[in-house]
Amino acid sequence: MTRPLTPKECVEQSIGRLILDFRRWLVPETKLLSRWRTQMTAYAVAEGRLVNDFNAMVDSYRKKQKELPMLIVAVQHIAAPPDLSQVIGTPFEVKTIIKTDPLKRRVTLRTEPRTYHVQFVFLANDPDSANSFTSQFCSYVRLMEKRRFPVNYYLSPDVREEWAITMFDNSLYPDSASLDETNLVAGLVEFDLSGLVPRVITGLPPLYEDEFTYENGGGPGEGPGGGAGSIKQFDVVVEADLFKARSGDVFTRINADPETQERTEQQLSE
């Protein structure tokens, strides 16, 4: 079974598709850009913690390969949620059916607004190629249809669904990053992506096997199809003595039948 991707990894996957689409759209102005447009590897992903540490990005990339030109992508989850004027989440639980679920199970879903900061660092050994890359990418995302694209999130190991993520920056400007290596030039473009991350609470198998689950993927009091679940999965108190406000040696004993869920009371004396 394929390992489920985290929400951040799903976003990185969608950014990769955006890069491949841009690579087809790009018109090479230099021989180096023409090589990047046709080479097998279009980009490399750096760890999110390396955002703004451009020299560390280059070191991390060169430990694996040395091919130039190369686009290095760093994606960092921003802790603060996006502005309410951009994305509004659904913190309460909603009953729904996932369209991509072949079994059409009834699930409980909520969403969380989230923002990612993205950096594109284009490494080249001539400034014309780096500047052309950043300039053309900024022109590319001025197309409104390129500023919003789907992210295919994992809701369960075998169920994925697409939710849109949006680039809200009104203007992107080409920039450059300073590097210690004098023989390298780094073109820089950075932007934020905001969208909703879906979370299935009940109704589907969990993303990870070691996660505590209820029978049939349901939640407390839920079974298949959202109906009543079995109480057998919990330990049940079948007998209890109540001494509250007892008079003398008399007390109340309550018995519960775990099968029929019937309860009986008896007045007993010690």
**Residue range 176-208, pLDDT digits in tens:** 888 877 788 889 999 999 999 999 999 999 988
pLDDT band at 224 (very low <50, low <70, confident <90, very high): very low
pLDDT digits (tens, 9 = 90+) for 38-68: 998 888 888 777 777 777 777 777 766 667 7
Alpha carbon 101 to chain centroid, angstroms: 18
In a domain, 239, yes or no: no
Report the pLDDT averaged over residues 233-254. Answer: 64
Report the pLDDT averaged over residues 211-224. Answer: 50
In a domain, 212, yes or no: no
In a domain, 29, yes or no: yes
pTM here is 0.74
In a domain, 63, yes or no: yes
Query: Is 209 a residue whose pLDDT tops 70?
Result: yes
Measured over the CA atoms of residue 121, residue 127, residue 129 and residue 131, the dihedral's sign is: positive
- Rounded distance between C-alpha atoms, residue 1 and residue 205, angstroms: 14
In a domain, 189, yes or no: yes
Residues spanned by the domain of 98: 7-202
In a domain, 47, yes or no: yes
In a domain, 2, yes or no: no
- Rounded distance between C-alpha atoms, residue 101 and residue 106, angstroms: 10
Domains held by the chain: number: 1
CB-based contact 143:21 (threshold 8 Å): no
Angle, CA 209 vertex, CA 206 and CA 210 arms, to 5°: 110
pLDDT attached to residue 180: 79
In a domain, 170, yes or no: yes
